[in-house]
Amino acid sequence: MMSSLFSGHFDRVNFLAKKWEALSDKNNLKVPIRAIYVVFYNGLATTRMYRMKGFKFPQPLRHIAQNLLPVLAKAEKSSQWNFKSKSSILKAEYLSLTSKKDKAELEYATAISSARSSKFIHEEGMACELAGMHYKHHGHKAKALELLFHAQKCYEAWGSQMKVDEMASIMEGM
């Protein structure tokens, strides 16, 4: 039974991958879907380095703007449902780091809304968490707590007790 389950999952993944490749060829995307996820998480890891005190090298930030955001923008054009929230999350983080506070806040709101409408509860939680940290950094404690609480609820619904505990810990420290 388990063998047929995994076999069915593998067939589904293969079918969707072939469909994506055809779609990406049609839209001149020419980027394998796994590369888009690598771009997204690479960008998030890079923004996380900038959030650490003392990291001030300009090259990784330029890399996000010149290389990573354009790939996600192309992916978003091909599939809003799948990539809008990812693109908005990374764009919001980039804007937040480059002191474009108002634009970042709009992009965080877009990311949260897009993730919610796509039913990506984990990405909704991530967008709320990052937006909460943005607001915390800018001294808006009430808004930060509201977003972090929402992130905690998303992570709870997703089933990640570790992230639920992490959100509780961050909120206690505020």
Residue 141's CATH number:
1.25.40.10
For residue 40, is it within any domain? yes
Query: Quick check: is 42 in a domain?
Result: yes
Tell which residue, 84, 87, 83, has the closest CA to residue 70.
87
Please give the structure tokens belonging to residue 123. 């990405």
pLDDT of residue 30: 64
The per-residue pLDDT for 58 is 83
Percent of the chain predicted with pLDDT > 90 = 61
Question: Mean of the pLDDT values across residues 82-101?
Answer: 95
pTM: 0.81
Q: State pLDDT tens for residues 29-54.
A: 566 777 888 889 999 999 998 888 77
Residue 88, C-beta contacts closer than 8 angstroms, at least 6 positions apart: 107, 108, 110, 111, 114, 127
Confidence at 23, pLDDT banded by 50, 70, 90 = low
Q: Which of 117, 70, 67, 69 is nearest to 89 (CA)?
A: 69
Say if 64 falls within a structural domain: yes
Distance CA 170, CA 160 (A): 16
* Residue whose pair of structure tokens reads 């997703």 in the numeric block: 158
Query: Into how many domains does the chain fold?
Result: 1
User: Residue 74 falls within a domain, yes or no?
Assistant: yes
92 lies in which domain range?
31-172
